[in-house]
Amino acid sequence: MVSDTQHKTGGNSALPPVLRLSSINKRFGAVHANKDVSLEVSAGTVHGIVGENGAGKSTLVSILYAFYTADSGQIYISGQQQQFKSSADAIRAGIGMVHQHFMLVPNFTVLENIVLGHESSGNLASSKIKAAGELATLAKKYGLEVDLDAVVQDLPVGLQQRVEILKALYRGAQILILDEPTGVLTPQETEQLFEILKALRAQGVTILLITHKLKEIMAITDAVSVMRGGEMVAHLATQDTSPRQLAELMVGRPVLLDVGYSPPTPTDICLKADNISLTQSGTTKLDGLSFSLRSGEILGIAGVSGNGQSELLEILSGIRPPSSGTLSINGHEIGADNPAGPSEIKALGVAHVPEDRHAMGLVLPFSAAESAVLGYEDDARLGSAAYFAPEALHSHCAQLMAEFDVRPASPELKSNLFSGGNQQKLVLAREISSAPKILLVGQPTRGVDIGAIEFIHKQLLSLRDKGCAIILVSVELDEILSLSDRVMVMNAGQNMGIIDRADATIQTVGLMMAGVVDSDVEARR
Amino acid sequence: MADLWLQFVLTIDATIRVATPLMLCAMAGLFSERSGIIDISLEGKMLLAAFAAASVAALTGSPWLALAGGILISLLFSLVHGFACITHKGNQVISGLAINILASGLTVTIGIAIFAQGGQTPFLSSDQRFSSITLPFAQAAGSIPIIGTIYKEILSGHNLLVWLAFVAVGLTSLIVFRTSFGLRLRAVGEKPEAVDSAGISVVAMRYQAVMIAGILCGIAGAYLSVAHGAGFVREMTAGKGYIALAAMIFGNWRPLPAMMACLMFGFLDALAARLQGVSLPMIGEVPTDLILVLPYVLTVVLLAGFIGKSTPPLAIGTPYIKER
């Protein structure tokens, strides 16, 4: 299944590639996670590996870092075949890994985290002093300044990542693997990370970047390999490819990167928030939010994560009451004095796709059929209120799975065995099937693969066209801008302004997210 | 006045004796729990060690062999705990509980089988036990007020294992906070994945930690039956393992505060013993039972979190399973 676009990367054929994987195979039970995967990476390049969730990227790098051993296949570093028994061997061979979830001890200092496992002697103090000296040199060489005595948990995420990189370099990494490094970073931190990666490349470090974000592949890599269904389907030079081609290779069929937005036909106001505030243990989470929502429109809520969007969703869905202010949903007044719980709000025609599908959207150990009725246990379709007919649960779920293309379409499978995209489709199917008048959606495509993103976006637009009002909360600015009819920007719990789609450029919204209010916008507030 | 002073000094002396097994056990628990393994089997291991040591002493007459026997049996059961919790990722509390129940039954059963004295071991003579070490000039110094009394009554006259307990606290502090091994130990209890990704075996680290715990519990057990006491009596640990655990938690998983907590528990215990039958001004005679229950009440109060906030190692109680 190797595409005809395959060709070797790296121009210099005289030197062996710094890293070569040959016919790697790995099975987990029935799942063939890596099928005959081969890869060549040239020294001093940034090499991207893209693929959807479950394509086998993580398995591949875990084999490279010797977290797993391959069932068959060889690893060559600078032409030398390697036999890794543990991560310690991989580290010795010059491989460093920056995990998606940082491998840092939160209550240790930066220095302690870096020397951990690579102490120069049994005496901790002298090990630290020796390491501090070497780190100063490294930090200067690569532009990785960080306070060695800071406690890791006090550092922002971007700096913690820097510690991870420094740790890998301290252990002598010449090949640095970064697994989804930008997932937790703000746009500015991502920018800084890329500057660091460029500096590393200039110093001869080879970087293997694992990501699902095509934008990043285009921005930073020299070459890119695409994985799909456990196989390598293409090796390309970045300059010869396009996001569209990569997306097609990842999914295996043409992908609409443009969701096909059409102008809305909004009707009556169905939800009105008036001066909503929320104070939680002394801190103001929401500060006088007012806005209204019409049937048949999508109101996107943009903002850097943690600026009150989550709390707003919780108030709108009835999970918690506001401290002050009133909410009017389809004519019903809700406020601090007359709160309404989630079931009452649901009865008003509001459905909620929560931000965290693992914690709030699904019960992971439940079967898909059970997860597919959560919150709708009283639905007449499932039989009497006191007793669920197993067949009714099963057929209800099977129907949702068919409509929303949930794969595998097995209602008895446990919820946690579905991929992120399929879990999200299941939650969305459950909520949309209740025919809501208002749909609250939080981070609909977080951790979701491209194929599923396309599907989910289309579903949201078609729901809007049927007259549903949608509030879309997302930290992915691209998602907000491509789906929303109007955009509300939140900063520190405040409404920074609501702007029409036509005015909502990345620059404008980006500034508002940072708390800068344009006078034009102010006037329209 | 002089009499009251002497009473106080004697109480402090008793405090040290009572606190010795607590300190050893608290350090044992500290090693284990800093590595992420909950160890409620301190009690059981100490009981087994006390029995083994007394048996060996009775059979061979050597306190040194007795100490080795106590350490060996405790070490063995720490490996059982490790096998259940580390290798098989079992529930750490259940495993500890199982060891405690086993210890309580096994010591008596084997004791009856060997010695036929209702589960006790024979009385040990002084040359079968660790004897008190009288420091030089202790008798002469006794006549010097205050300093002399402290020297004679508090510092002198303890057996070797008492001194070993204090050494253990110092060494624990040194190892945990000043060595590379200690850094790895703490890391493995906080975030084992970080240790694993640094190329160090989480399993090996945790086994080393529970084995150190086993050795220290063994010393504590031997102290009870062949140093402080003169033979094994059924259930002779009487909850000291749990109190040590409480002291360690109260000490926030740090050696010196944990030692202070042990000494405080020891002081209450010693005080309780002295207050029995004594008529106190204003209060009158305090019922013995009420005084004896004091250390345990304090344990409950401390563990209920009334005093201070404890911050356990993050990964405590969770078996390490490599992602996917």
Higher pLDDT, A240 or B274: A240
What mean pLDDT is reported for chain B?
90
Closest partner residue to B184 (CB to CB) among A101, A107, A117 is: A117
Domain ranges, residue B137: 2-239
Is the residue at B35 inside a domain?
A: yes
Is the residue at B17 inside a domain?
A: yes
- What are the contacts of A315-320 at 24+ separation with CB within 8 A? A315/A276, A315/A278, A315/A286, A316/A271, A316/A273, A316/A345, A316/A350, A316/A352, A316/A440, A316/A471, A317/A342, A317/A345, A317/A350, A317/A352, A317/A354, A317/A440, A318/A342, A318/A343, A318/A344, A318/A345, A318/A346, A318/A350, A320/A278
| Cβ-contact A207, A47 below 8 angstroms | yes
For position A381, what pLDDT does the model report?
Answer: 66
A170 torsion bin: left (phi>0), alpha (psi -120 to 50), beta (else): alpha
Chain A residue nearest residue B181, CA to CA: A122
Where does the pLDDT of residue B2 fall: very low under 50, low under 70, confident under 90, or very high at 90 and above? low
CB contact under 8 A, A124 and B177: yes
For position A190, what pLDDT does the model report?
Answer: 83
Quick one: which of B231, B187, B194, B230 has its CA closest to B209? B187
Is the residue at B81 inside a domain?
A: yes
Interval A304-324 mean pLDDT: 90
Interval A211-217 mean pLDDT: 86
Where does the pLDDT of residue B274 fall: very low under 50, low under 70, confident under 90, or very high at 90 and above? confident
For position A515, what pLDDT does the model report?
Answer: 77
* Domain-wise residue ranges, chain A: 17-251, 256-349+436-525, 365-435
| Model ipTM value | 0.88
For position A15, what pLDDT does the model report?
Answer: 64
Fold of domain A17-251: Rossmann fold (3.40.50)
Higher pLDDT, A7 or B127: B127
Interval B245-250 mean pLDDT: 90
CB contact under 8 A, A108 and B184: no
Chain B CB contacts of A127 under 8 Å are 180
* CATH architecture, domain A256-349+436-525: 3-Layer(aba) Sandwich (3.40)
Percent of chain A with pLDDT over 70: 93
Task: Count CA atoms within 13 Å of residue A71 on its CB side.
Answer: 13
Residues B12-22 have pLDDT tens digits of 999 999 999 99
Interface A–B counts its CB contacts (< 8 A) at 75
Chain A CB contacts of B186 under 8 Å are 105, 108
- How far does the CA of residue B314 sit from the closest CA of chain A (Å)? 9
Looking at A42-135, which runs of residues are DSSP E strands?
Answer: 46-51, 72-77, 80-82, 95-98
CB contact under 8 A, A103 and B198: yes
Phi, psi of A228 (to 5 degrees): -150, 130
Q: What are the beta bridge partners of residue A271?
A: A293, A329
- How far does the CA of residue A166 sit from the closest CA of chain B (Å)? 13
Interval A388-416 mean pLDDT: 88
Where does the pLDDT of residue A401 fall: very low under 50, low under 70, confident under 90, or very high at 90 and above? very high
pLDDT of A520 higher than 60: no
Interval B168-182 mean pLDDT: 97
Is the residue at B300 inside a domain?
A: no
Is the residue at B112 inside a domain?
A: yes
Q: Which two tokens stand for residue B84?
A: 């259940």
Looking at A158-198, which runs of residues are DSSP E strands?
Answer: 175-179
CB contact under 8 A, A119 and B183: yes
In angstroms and rounded to an integer, the radius of gyration of the C-alpha atoms of chain B is: 20
**B160-178 and A124-142 are packed helices; what angle lies between their axes, rounded to 10 degrees?**
0
Segment of A17-26, A301-310, A473-482 carrying the highest mean pLDDT:
A17-26
Q: Which of A69, A114, A116 to mutate to test the interface with B (most CBs of B within 10 A)?
A: A116
Residues A502-517 have pLDDT tens digits of 999 877 887 888 777 6
Chain B residue nearest residue A65, CA to CA: B197
Which element (helix H / strand E) includes A302? strand A298-302
| Cβ-contact B240, B260 below 8 angstroms | no
Interval A228-245 mean pLDDT: 92
- How far does the CA of residue B284 sit from the closest CA of chain A (Å)? 49
Quick one: which of A262, A263, A290 has its CA closest to A276? A290
Say if residue A219 is exposed, middle or buried (CB neighbours under 10 Å; 0-12, 13-18, 19+): middle
Give CA–CA dist A64/B139, Å, rounded.
71
CB contact under 8 A, A117 and B182: no
For position A518, what pLDDT does the model report?
Answer: 57
Q: Name the amino acid, one letter, at B53.
A: A
Interval A472-496 mean pLDDT: 91
Residues B177-204 have pLDDT tens digits of 999 999 999 999 999 999 998 989 999 9
Quick one: which of A484, A39, A448 has its CA closest to A300? A484
| Cβ-contact A394, A412 below 8 angstroms | yes
Residues B194-237 have pLDDT tens digits of 999 898 999 999 999 999 999 999 999 999 999 999 999 999 99
Is the residue at B253 inside a domain?
A: no
Residues B40-70 have pLDDT tens digits of 999 999 999 999 999 999 999 999 999 999 9
DSSP letters for B182-199? HHHHHHHHH-HHHHHHTT
For position A519, what pLDDT does the model report?
Answer: 53
Residue B265, number of CB atoms within 10 A of its CB: 28
Residues B75-110 have pLDDT tens digits of 999 999 999 999 999 999 999 999 999 999 999 999
Q: How many domains does chain B have?
A: 1
Residues A149-180 have pLDDT tens digits of 999 988 877 889 999 999 999 999 999 999 98
pLDDT of B322 higher than 90: no
For position A383, what pLDDT does the model report?
Answer: 64
Where does the pLDDT of residue A7 fall: very low under 50, low under 70, confident under 90, or very high at 90 and above? very low
| Cβ-contact B46, B220 below 8 angstroms | yes
**pTM value?**
0.79
Residue A240, number of CB atoms within 10 A of its CB: 12
CB contact under 8 A, B183 and A124: yes
Residues B258-271 have pLDDT tens digits of 999 999 889 888 88
Is the residue at B278 inside a domain?
A: no
Is the residue at B262 inside a domain?
A: no
pLDDT of A256 higher than 80: no
Q: Which two tokens stand for residue B265?
A: 């528990």
Q: What is the DSSP-derived secondary structure letter of residue A301?
A: E
